[in-house]
Amino acid sequence: MNMTKRILTITLIMFGLLSLNACTYGRIGGSYSQVEAIKGQGGTYKVGAPYKIMGNWYYPKEDYNYSEVGVASWYGEDFHAKKTANGESYDMHALTAAHRTLPLPSIVKVTNLENGRSLVLRVNDRGPYAKNRIIDISKRGAQLLGFQTQGTAKVRVEIMAEESKQLKAALLGDKTAAISATNGNNVKKQVPTQPVKPLQLIGAEHANPKAIRAYPKGSWFVQAGAYSKESAAQNLSKQLDQFGETNIYYVTVSGQKFYRVRVGPFSHKKEAEVTLAKVKHFGVYNAKVVQD
């Protein structure tokens, strides 16, 4: 392993240790951000009609149980900045992929079975059509999965069902689909009206202060992330302002302070779930709905 790869590996491990309740993929913070690479650049949701390439027929469909082992390849400069099958602009530096039949876009987990590396990718294009190849990955994706130099690798491709459903709902503006994809539970809870002071909100003693606001006990929030560094939380908060009021709260766990980024409050869980779908569509895949 050369020094550059060693530094990247150590950096990823450190971010994993510093993020509270974070999954392996879709983290924001520091110098390495898969979120910035994976979020979409326009485009629409589509499944598409059956089509024929080089004498073979392909039948696109929504298959949220999809899992397949085969050969992955990658594509780069020749397609950079050209339109993908769903109308996005292909970026060889982003974490995207092409698949023959999955809905566009979908979220998949690709595991390189030759070295054990895994990566979450956004499927936004069609292909590949060479024999035995089941997915075509962006140049950056191939680099991170460790097969850019050799050109191909044996991989397992698995659709991330909930994330893909939420992405579909966000693109189509389907609130019902967003709610059912996120939770599948439409039970309403009575929200008491008495206001209470929130968890310790980042206030005047910090840069970029926000006023402390009381909210009704039992309110709902979209918690987008928790970080040990306030600067990372501030960065995420600014990016999520487009989805509603964002605030940063801090909690202490085993003597260590963590900064929670939340969008809200919302009076009803359904409102929070719709916003959750939008936040995940933006690329924050470990976001979740919480009640406080």
User: For residue 228, what pLDDT is reported?
Assistant: 84
Residues in Cβ contact with 155 at an 8 Å cutoff, skipping those fewer than 6 apart? 69, 70, 71, 72, 110, 111, 112, 113, 134, 135, 145
- Say which DSSP state 255 is in: T
DSSP 149: T
How does residue 22 score in pLDDT terms, banded at 50, 70 and 90? very low
For the segment 29-37, the average pLDDT, to the nearest whole number, is: 35
Whether 237 shows a pLDDT value over 50: the answer reads yes
Mean pLDDT (the chain) is 75
pLDDT level of residue 38 (50, 70, 90 thresholds): very low
Could you tell me what percent of the chain has a pLDDT over 70?
Answer: 71
Radius of gyration of the chain (CA): 20
Q: What is the pLDDT of residue 42?
A: 64
Give how far Cα 17 sits from Cα of 13, 14, 20, Å: 6, 5, 8
Least confident interval from 35-49, 110-124, 205-219: 205-219
Whether pTM > 0.75 for this model: the answer is no
Q: Residue 174 — pLDDT band, cuts 50, 70, 90?
A: low
Higher pLDDT, 38 or 251: 251
pLDDT-above-90 percentage for the chain: 30
